Amino acid sequence: MTTVQLNKLSRYYGTYHALRDVSLSVQSGEFIVLLGPSGCGKSTLLSAIAGLDDLQGGQVLLDNQDVTKQEPSRRNIGMVFQSYALYPTMTARQNLSFGLEVARTPKAEINQRVEWAAQVLQLTPLLNRKPGQLSGGQRQRVAIGRALVRKSNLFLFDEPLSNLDAKLRTEMRVEIKALHERLGATFIYVTHDQIEAMTLASKIAVMRSGVIEQFGPPEELYDRPASLFVADFLGSPSMNQLAGELRVEDGRVFVEHAGGRSEVTGYPFAALPKDGLEVVLGLRPEQLSIGEGGGAGRLTVRLLLIEPLGADSLAWCEVGGQRMSVRVPPALARSLSGELPVSFAPATVSLFDKTIGHRL
Ligand code: ADP
């Protein structure tokens, strides 16, 4: 079992502060996804855990042992990178056993571990092939196998699927999730793909400019994003954002926004709402209903077009010069046209302070 504790990690590249006092606590057996746009510090954080990079401050603890100064090879971490870096002249079996041979592991044990990893990853019939004779997905499985034979309890993945085409990526995603469940090991996985993050993670850490902006289970980040940045990053299409102004009247709270005025008294405000505050209403496409039956939130929008997605449809609308999407059943979508009343339940949506972008 492996727990990971990061305390105030700081990493500079020259004057650029790539990790700004990042702290993170990972329980044994969790599947943590580091998610964020390119350049936010995900790979730097992963390298810090692996020990591949020097830190200017902070501590890395594995199983409560301070390993900050320990060599990468002594941390016994399984790593899988974006570029598989398989040896092209070696067979899959040789690729799997090479690291163990270098570490002078006894031959019988090497064989046993390679057989086991091959079986877990369904590579057994392919062990005598060279990388050139394997498909992209099979090569990636060999790369994962190379990490697996180390018998580690902690695996780090750095964008392992980004070189694969869309279909293969979906298949490998399922395999990686199944592998995690089978091993019960701790996984830390870097991606900029929000769907990968939502489907794989037990918890997601959303990173932005060298800090973790929010850390929690995918549903929590999706339903209650702590900031506009997180709200925008998760979900496809992204959360609708409607600017407005808060009105506090006799203990009731309203938002005046383009297309209407919505009572949001039932919203779980973290602090007492202030009259006149500039806010952003965050509305997921599925939180909006056509008609007035959806709740106390009300606005009128103009239908632009219907986008059929199969199981449901997106009604793309416009209000106050802003585009919004509403998820609707296909049968209803076909009957829509012109100006539409839309409603929502205020308790379930998101409200942000427009100036600082934080959740209210
Ligand atoms: P991510 O993995 O989220 O794309 P990285 O961790 O690779 O981001 O990089 C974080 C920031 O640090 C980026 O702005 C990147 O340009 C910078 N950076 C990364 N590695 C180096 C390096 N070796 N030298 C200088 N700057 C670097």
240-353, what's its fold? OB fold (Dihydrolipoamide Acetyltransferase, E2P) (2.40.50)
pLDDT confidence bin for 76, thresholds 50/70/90: confident
Q: Which of 126-135, 167-176, 209-218 holds the top average pLDDT?
A: 209-218
The pLDDT, as a whole number, for residue 171 is 85
Cα R_g (the chain), whole angstroms? 25
- What are the tokens at 51? 């020990």
User: Does ligand 1 come within 6 angstroms of the Cβ of 40?
Assistant: yes
Peptide bond into 88 cis (omega under 30): no
Task: Please state the separation of Cα 254 from the chain's center in Å.
Answer: 33
Output phi, psi for 154, to 5 deg.
Answer: -135, 125
The pLDDT-based confidence of 166 (bands split at 50, 70, 90) is confident
Helices (H), 51-193: 92-102, 107-120, 136-148, 166-183
Label the pairing between strands 313-319 and 297-308.
antiparallel
Residue of 43, 47, 204, 213 with the most ligand 1 atoms within 8 Å of its CB, for mutation = 43
- Atom 27 of ligand 1, residue of closest alpha carbon: 13
* pLDDT score of 111 more than 90: yes
Per-residue pLDDT band for 221 (boundaries 50, 70, 90) equals: very high
Q: Calculate the average pLDDT of the chain.
A: 93
3-state secondary structure of 36: coil
Cα torsion angle, 181, 187, 191, 197, sign: positive
Question: Please, what is the Cα angle at 304 between 298 and 310, to 5 degrees?
Answer: 95
With 80 as the cut, is the pLDDT of residue 1 above it?
Answer: no
- Residue 214, beta-bridge partner list: 206
* Residues forming a β-bridge with 61: 5, 66
Q: Is 44 in the pocket of ligand 1 (CB under 6 A)?
A: yes
For residues 157 and 45, what is the distance between their CA atoms, to the nearest angstrom?
12
Mean pLDDT calculated for residue range 92-101: 93
Q: What is the average pLDDT across 236-245?
A: 94
Instruction: Choose which residue among 9, 11, 12, 13 to substitute to test ligand 1 binding: the one with the highest number of ligand atoms within 8 A of its C-beta.
Output: 13
| Residue 82: predicted pLDDT | 76
Which band of pLDDT confidence, cut at 50, 70 and 90, is reported for residue 36? very high
Residue ranges, CATH 3.40.50.300, the chain: 4-233
Where does the pLDDT of residue 120 fall: very low under 50, low under 70, confident under 90, or very high at 90 and above?
A: confident
Percentage of the chain modeled with pLDDT above 90: 78
pLDDT score of 58: 97
Burial annotation 304-332 (CB, 10 A radius, 16+ → b, else e): eebeeeeebbbbbbebeeeebbbbbeeee
User: Which segment of 51-55, 187-191, 200-204 scores lowest on mean pLDDT?
Assistant: 51-55
pLDDT value of residue 203: 98
Pairing mode, strands 289-290 and 339-344:
antiparallel
Atom from ligand 1 closest to the CA of residue 38:
4
pTM: 0.91
Measured by CA distance, the residue closest to atom 14 of ligand 1 is 39
Share above pLDDT 70 across residues of the chain, in percent, rounded to a whole number:
99
DSSP-derived 3-state class of residue 236: coil
Decide which of 136 and 3 is more confident. 3
Fold of the domain spanning 4-233: Rossmann fold (3.40.50)
Hey, which residues does 194 pair with through a beta bridge?
A: none
Contact by Cβ (8 Å): 196, 168: no
List strands edge to edge, sheet with 252-257.
260-263, 252-257, 240-249, 278-283, 350-353
Query: What is the C-alpha separation between 189 and 207, in angstroms, rounded?
Result: 13
Task: Give the helix ranges, DSSP H, for the chain.
Answer: 42-50, 92-102, 107-120, 136-148, 166-183, 194-200, 218-223, 228-233, 330-335
pLDDT at 280: 97
Distance 17 CA to ligand 1 centre (A): 10
| DSSP codes of every residue in 271-288 | SPPPTT-EEEEEE-GGG-
Ranges of CATH 2.40.50.100 domains, the chain: 240-353
Output the pLDDT for position 6: 98
